Chain A
Amino acid sequence: MSNHNELPTLAVWKFASCDGCQLSLLDCEDELLTLAGVVRISHFTEMSRATTAGPYDVSLVEGSITTPADVHRIQEVREASRRLITIGACATAGGIQGLRNFAASGAYAATVYAHPEYIASLDTSTPISAHVDVDFELHGCPIDRHQLLEVITASLSGRRPVIPGHSVCQECKARGTVCLLVSQKTACLGPVTRTGCGALCPAVGRGCFGCFGPADTANTSSLAATLRHQGTPAIELSHLFRTFNACAPAFLEESVSQGGPVPVTRGRPPTPTSGEEGR
């Protein structure tokens, strides 16, 4: 084993998110000690408050950009990272909090907080890639820990991660799950959703919720036409496409086509401005 101080460094960063994707790293119970033996975990505040300064060989970034402060902080993370990998639906597509992109500025804050004037947040939730260059995007809500290990391992050995971009359907077929869409007429987003979860929901009789976002080629309009023909109302279809990956372009466009509200700003990243730091 190499001297610990010579190992590649790994950092984990949190932006607007629920922490579930970071937790996937700690969920790697069988592999965690092995991982800790091949990388130096230099910054992972969910695991330890002990941190060391960058630069970092690999940064995992969870969460979306929702505050003026984070607009700046992600630039700092980028500058400190040789390889920046975004993990989860928030970081790759804006997450469930991307629903704010469809509401008038401040509407949610005014509903929730007694004094919304103390809230310093942006009108939009945007993916990390809207702000800085990203080396690899790992999708999912939450991400799959086996895929996470694969991405980390590939990064350490300098190879391309084996992360497919095809539909959930292929995973259903590989595990022998009978198609719910065809046999039960269940509304299922599997044909347009990226695989990675192991096709969990169809295996227990639930249609795919689209947690991993659009597949490489997602013909959402054709699937929507079939689901409508099978009896799913347009408004339900709009909701179906508008969950954790509501602002992923293919899902966003389809939810609008099915009558959902259009984004107030069409998801444009805000221009970083000075003097708005929230901390």
Chain B
Amino acid sequence: METADARLIDAQGLDAVIAVLGELGYDTRGPVVRDGAVMPGTVTGVVDLPVGYHDEQAPGHYQLEYRGDNTVFAWAVGPGSWKAELFPPTQELWRATRDGGDLTFSEPDADYRPLALIGARPCELAALDVLDRVLRDGGTPDPHYRARRDGAFIVVAECGVPAATCFCTSMGTGPGADVGFDLALTELDDGAGHRFVVRVGSERGAEVLAGVSSLPASPANLEGRRQVLAAAADATTRQLSVDGLGALLARNLDHPRWDEAAQRCLACGNCTLVCPTCFCSDVRDTTTLTGEIRRQRSWASCFDLDHSYLHGGPVRATTSSRYRQWLTHKLSTWWDQFGTSGCVGCGRCIAWCPVGIDLTEEAAAIRSTDGAVRPGAAPGRVSS
């Protein structure tokens, strides 16, 4: 998005943006501090945002620290993602009641109060684009996702302070955002004060911003933004080498590293549930004592034994095969299916793995020993 029309607001201006969105009927959601982490929550003003909070993240580690300064967005993503807002953990699809021999079906309305996602990070915006390809723009769109997604107003907050688990620069998803938002904020906190450069990404974004007192962003402000993003990119030290990565993983299905990862992997599913793009779900029919039938969809994980259960047993019975399925889908076969990477480099799966398994380290280990084969593997096996 062009920066020529960029504006400048202060914290009061951000308050006003949130207020205007509320007045327009949006359910204003954004990052809040809850239970020691930055989590999605309801925000009615800047006071609800993580003002003065900073995070420390590492494999299997997350720590929030309150320093009391006036920064609003000086943290990297927490465990909750916007996936939960648009694709909730459980969703009733239909229910049916019996009346004699007849069944009467009813579906819940896909009529949702529009969401305003305030303070989404650029990697999360990229994740929404990934989800769109799966849940909205593919052959079988999900009406509930589509309704929530199409109505959502997105205020992205570009990243100034990445965590040690972030690798968006490898995935091309940050620290800045170019498209996919209604408004984009870049927080400036320098000698000239605490302000936000605001860029407009849509007509409705322009309408909202028009209702707020703002100044034109000066060349110095735009230079300030450029410096924030450059510093954030420099501070993003974790890397995932994506060069030929899909093919690399596809030809290393019998690499011994999968078994090594499985020694540590708890198969608990945390990585998949904090992932902003993992969309696997389970559809189950249940009956009630009175004979009502309900079909419900709920989040599922490829780390569950049930996930690959076919007649006779699970197809992927070992943790090694399930970890491999997750990683190769995310970084390799997702390209074949959806034309993008399934990974946006947010680093959640690294920080929130209880035992700290790091997919960038696993991929690098396979790259450094490309072609290694575990003992007993069938000879000559290649990617299917």
Contacts and interface: CB of A to CB of B under 8 A. Distances in A.
Interface of A: 31, 34-35, 37-38, 149-150, 152-154, 156-157, 159, 162, 164-167, 169-170, 173-179, 181-184, 190-192, 205, 215-217, 219, 222-223, 225-226
A161 B37 CA distance: 36
A34 B61 contact: no
A167 B269 contact: yes
Given A179-B354, A183-B36, A226-B354, A219 B319 contact: yes
Nearest to A170: B269
B284 interface: yes
Interface string B269-285: 11001100000000010
Nearest to B353: A182
A153 B289 contact: yes
A176 B38 CA distance: 11
29 contacts: A31-B289, A34-B290, A153-B289, A156-B289, A162-B286, A166-B269, A166-B303, A167-B269, A173-B269, A173-B299, A174-B298, A176-B84, A178-B39, A178-B78, A179-B79, A179-B354, A182-B61, A183-B35, A183-B37, A184-B36, A191-B270, A191-B354, A192-B266, A215-B267, A217-B305, A222-B266, A222-B355, A223-B354, A226-B354
Contacts of B34: 178
Given A34-B289, A173-B270, 11 more contacts: A152-B289, A153-B288, A159-B287, A166-B268, A167-B268, A169-B268, A175-B89, A176-B80, A183-B35, A226-B354, A226-B356
Contacts of A154: 286-287
A100 B180 CA distance: 62
Nearest to A181: B354
Contacts of B301: 166, 170
Given A166-B306, A176-B80, A179-B354, A191 B268 contact: yes
B304 interface: yes
A-B CB proximity, top 8 nearest: A174-B89, A191-B268, A173-B273, A178-B35, A167-B268, A191-B266, A217-B267, A178-B37
A185 to B, nearest CB: 9
Contacts of B356: 226
B354 A178 contact: no
A176 B39 contact: yes
B263 to A, nearest CB: 7
B117 interface: no
Interface string B76-99: 001110001000011000000000
B53 interface: no
B352 interface: yes
A165 B35 contact: no
B265 interface: yes
B264 interface: yes
B131 interface: no
B287 A153 contact: yes
Nearest to A157: B287
A242 to B, nearest CB: 20
Contacts of A216: 304-306
Given A191-B354, A219-B319, A179 B267 contact: no
B47 to A, nearest CB: 21
Given A178-B34, A182-B352, A183-B62, A169 B270 contact: yes
Given A150-B286, A164-B304, A166-B306, A177 B269 contact: no
Residue from A152, A182, A190, A217 with most neighbouring chain B CB atoms (10 Å): A182
B62 A182 contact: yes
A252 B63 CA distance: 33
Contacts of B123: none
